[in-house]
Amino acid sequence: MAERPELAARKATVLHAVVEAYVATGEPVGSETIAERAALGVSSATIRNEMAALEEQGYLSHPHTSAGRIPTDAGYRHYVDALPAPTRLKDAQRRQIATHFADAILDLEEVLKGSVHLLSRLTQYAGLAVPPGPSDEHLVRLEVIDMGPTLLVLAVGQHGRVDKQIIDRPEHIDAEAISGAELRLDAVRGTTYLEAQAALLQMAAEEPTGAHDVLLIAADVLRMATQGGRAGHVVIGGVANLTDETQVWRRDTLRRLFETLEREQEMLRVLQEVAVSGDVSVTIGDEHPSTGEWGASIVTAPFTAGDATVGTIGIVGPTRMDYLSAMTAVRAVAKRVSDAATEAEQ
């Protein structure tokens, strides 16, 4: 009881052996197995005692009296925290990643799509990524295009991000008003989405002609892009892998997972909540309401452009996951994606 935070060395060894064996086989694991596997030089009876204690402390559980042990979410957590930091990738994986990033693709969105699929192939789970938001991207173009009864507002960011919106053209806005606003729209090039938005509102105030409304419309599109419902989206790939994993998922939890995967805004929120900045982060089952509901775990890593963290990439899989190789793969791919994003930055 007193040893909650720190686990006696041997207990930890036993716990980790249980996690590894269970992840590998999917079967509850017994004391005998551990006695052989982890060369501790003690008998299975001793292991049994340790296991009972570990169960007492909430790291292991028992499907029924005479079955082996299964790690709890807390057990996985302890295992993950104790994992040696960076591990080498398997050569085959290393090669796959290298090949995948062999020829530079310049559109970050494309890079992420590809990377998400790569991750899903490497890990056999489903890949996820959150692309950079527009908030601190610089505008390279901002236009209002006259399409007859409608207007198309087009904003292009420095990384090739394109936000567009079609709106009904208000009666009083004529071709003249649009071309009148053109200069003003050009003036905000090179500033960020947020700065541009402020600048446009400012200009609109000083400009009481027809161009006034055009500027307001453009500002509104920028606002929608940076915070509105369509602000962010999530790139997802390899969900087919989730239907496999023989028997691991219960049908109903799987369904809930799929439902959420389709709701981008919700998914985005979840990913923001589970990601800690810095290195790879792991969220296991009950540690977050959503992953708890799915019986799943999420492994993510931030990726950077220059020094700034601009997005997140990772995977979702069952709590019974090969965390070590998942973390290694995610870390490696995040690194490569960072390189790509940094390069695109110039």
Partner DNA sequence: CTTAGCACTCTGCGGCGGAGAGTGCCAGCT
Partner DNA sequence: AGCTGGCACTCTCCGCCGCAGAGTGCTAAG
Q: Enumerate binding residues for DNA (CB under 7 A).
A: 10, 27-33, 41-46, 48-49, 51-52, 55, 62, 64-69
CB nearer a second copy, residue 232 or residue 237: 237
What's the closest the beta carbon of residue 327 comes to a second copy, in angstroms? 24
Of DNA, a second copy, none, which one does residue 166 interact with (CB within 5 to 8 Å by kind)?
Answer: a second copy
CB nearer a second copy, residue 88 or residue 251: 251
Q: What string of DSSP letters covers 184-247?
A: HHHHTTTSBHHHHHHHHHHHHHH--STHHHHHHHHHHHHHHHHHSTTS---EEE-THHHH-STT
In 3-state terms, what secondary structure has residue 102? coil
Of a second copy, DNA, none, which one does residue 318 interact with (CB within 5 to 8 Å by kind)?
Answer: none
Of DNA, a second copy, none, which one does residue 258 interact with (CB within 5 to 8 Å by kind)?
Answer: a second copy
* Positive or negative torsion for Cα 327, 329, 335, 341: negative
Q: Which residues contact 317 (CB under 8 A, 6 or more apart)?
A: 123, 124, 125, 126, 241, 242, 245, 296, 297, 299, 326
Q: Which residues contact 113 (CB under 8 A, 6 or more apart)?
A: 235, 237
Judged by the rule CB under 8 A, the positions of this chain that interact with a second copy are 106-107, 140-141, 143, 145, 147-150, 152, 154, 156, 158, 160, 162, 164-168, 237-240, 243-244, 246, 251, 254-255, 258-259, 261-262, 344, 346
CB nearer a second copy, residue 48 or residue 256: 256
275, two tokens:
């990601």
CB nearer DNA, residue 30 or residue 295: 30
Of DNA, a second copy, none, which one does residue 31 interact with (CB within 5 to 8 Å by kind)?
Answer: DNA
CB nearer a second copy, residue 73 or residue 163: 163
What's the closest the beta carbon of residue 242 comes to DNA, in angstroms? 23
Q: Which residues contact 101 (CB under 8 A, 6 or more apart)?
A: 336, 339, 340
